[in-house]
Amino acid sequence: MAWIRLDPITRRRLERFRSIKRGWYSLVVLGAAMVLSVFASFLAESRALVVWYGGRVYFPTFTYYEAGRFGQEPPPGWGTGDLEADYLRLQREWDLERVLYERERTAIVGDDRVALAALEEKYANRQNRVFMPPIPWDPYRSDFWYNEILRDVQAELDRDANLRAELLARRDGLDELADAIASGDIETMLADPERSLTGDLLGLARSGAMPSLAGLGALPPTAPDLRRHHYLGTDSQGRDVASRLLYGFRISIFFSLFLVLVSQVVGTAVGSLQGYIGGRFDLLSQRLIEVLLSIPFLYVVIIMGALFAPTFWLLLAIMAAFQWITITFYMRTEMYREKTREYCLAARSYGASHARVVFRHLLPNSLTPLVTFTPFAVVAAIFTLTALDYLGYGLPAPTPSWGEMLDQALLAENRDRLWLTLAPFGALTFTLVLVVFIGESVREAFDPKRYSRYE
Partner 1 sequence: MRIVLWVSALLAAAPLGAQDVAVVLPPGIAWSTNYDDPPIGSPEAIRGGTFNDWIGAYPLTFRLVGPNSNDGFAGWNRLFTMAFSLVKRHPVTDNYIPWMATAWSVQDDQRTVYVRLDPDARWSDGEPITADDWVFTYEMFQSPHIVDPFYAILAQETWESIDKIDDYTLRIVGKDPSWRPLWDFLGIWPTPSHVVTLDSTWVERTNNEPQVAPGPYIVTGRERGESVTFSRVDGWWGEGKHYFRGLYNPDTIQLRIVPEERSLDYLRLGQIDVLQENTARTWNEDYTFEAVRNGWIKRARVFVDFPQGVYGLAMNLEAPIFQDKDFRKAIQYLFNFERLNRNLMFDEYLRISSFFEGTEYANPDIEPYSFDPQRAREHLARAGYRRPSENRSRGLLASAGRMLNGLITTRAADDDILVNERGEKASFSIVYGSKGLERHLTVMQQDYRRAGVEVRLRLLEPGAAFERGLERKYEMHLMGRGTSFFPDPRQYLHTEFRDTTNNNNVWGFGTPQVDSLIEVFEDDLDLEDRQAAMWRIDEIVHDEAFHIPFWGAPFVRLAYWDYIGWPDNWLPKRVLAYNDWPVFWIDPDRKAALEEAMRTGTPLPVDQEIDKDPYDLVDDRQ
Residues in touch with partner 1 (CB under 8 A): 38, 41, 59, 61-64, 77-79, 81-84, 138, 140-142, 144, 147-148, 151, 219-220, 236-238, 247, 250-251, 254, 302, 305-306, 309, 311-312, 392-393, 396-399, 407, 412-413
Residue 40 CA to residue 42 CA, distance in Å, equals 5
Give whichever of 170 and 230 is closer to partner 1, judged by the CB atom.
230
Give whichever of 268 and 399 is closer to partner 1, judged by the CB atom.
399
The least CB distance from residue 434 to partner 1, in Å, is 20
Residue 220 CA to residue 234 CA, distance in Å, equals 7
The least CB distance from residue 142 to partner 1, in Å, is 5
The least CB distance from residue 103 to partner 1, in Å, is 33
Give whichever of 131 and 299 is closer to partner 1, judged by the CB atom.
299
Residue 398 CA to residue 414 CA, distance in Å, equals 19
The least CB distance from residue 382 to partner 1, in Å, is 15
The least CB distance from residue 311 to partner 1, in Å, is 7
Contact of 202 with 150, CB cutoff 8 Å: yes
Query: Which residues, at least 6 apart from 355, have a Cβ–Cβ distance to it below 8 Å?
Result: none
Give whichever of 275 and 305 is closer to partner 1, judged by the CB atom.
305
The least CB distance from residue 45 to partner 1, in Å, is 8
Contact of 43 with 59, CB cutoff 8 Å: no
Contact of 311 with 318, CB cutoff 8 Å: no
Give whichever of 328 and 401 is closer to partner 1, judged by the CB atom.
401
Give whichever of 130 and 316 is closer to partner 1, judged by the CB atom.
316
Query: Which residues, at least 6 apart from 367, have a Cβ–Cβ distance to it below 8 Å?
Result: 446
Give whichever of 206 and 443 is closer to partner 1, judged by the CB atom.
206
Pairing relationship of beta strands 129-131 and 50-53 according to DSSP bridges = antiparallel
DSSP category for residue 210 = S
Q: Strand locations in 25-70, DSSP E?
A: 50-53, 56-58
Give whichever of 229 and 239 is closer to partner 1, judged by the CB atom.
239
The least CB distance from residue 202 to partner 1, in Å, is 11
The least CB distance from residue 44 to partner 1, in Å, is 11
The least CB distance from residue 235 to partner 1, in Å, is 9
208: left (phi over 0), alpha (psi -120 to 50) or beta: left
The least CB distance from residue 438 to partner 1, in Å, is 21
Give whichever of 61 and 353 is closer to partner 1, judged by the CB atom.
61
Give whichever of 230 and 361 is closer to partner 1, judged by the CB atom.
230
Contact of 101 with 20, CB cutoff 8 Å: no
Residue 446: which of 356, 374, 379, 380 has the closest Cα?
Answer: 374
Tell the burial category of 256 from Cβ atoms under 10 Å away from its Cβ (0-12, 13-18, 19+). Answer: buried
| Cα separation values, 261 from 4, 216, 311, 372, Å | 18, 48, 19, 14
Give whichever of 258 and 451 is closer to partner 1, judged by the CB atom.
258
Contact of 45 with 139, CB cutoff 8 Å: no
| Cα separation values, 304 from 50, 288, 298, 308, 385, Å | 42, 21, 10, 6, 15
Angle at 387 between CA 382 and CA 393, to 5 degrees: 115
Element (H, E) at 131: strand 129-131
The least CB distance from residue 324 to partner 1, in Å, is 21
**Treating both helix axes as pointing N-terminal to C-terminal, what angle do 363-391 and 325-338 enclose, rounded to 10 degrees?**
170
Contact of 15 with 450, CB cutoff 8 Å: no
Contact of 184 with 163, CB cutoff 8 Å: no
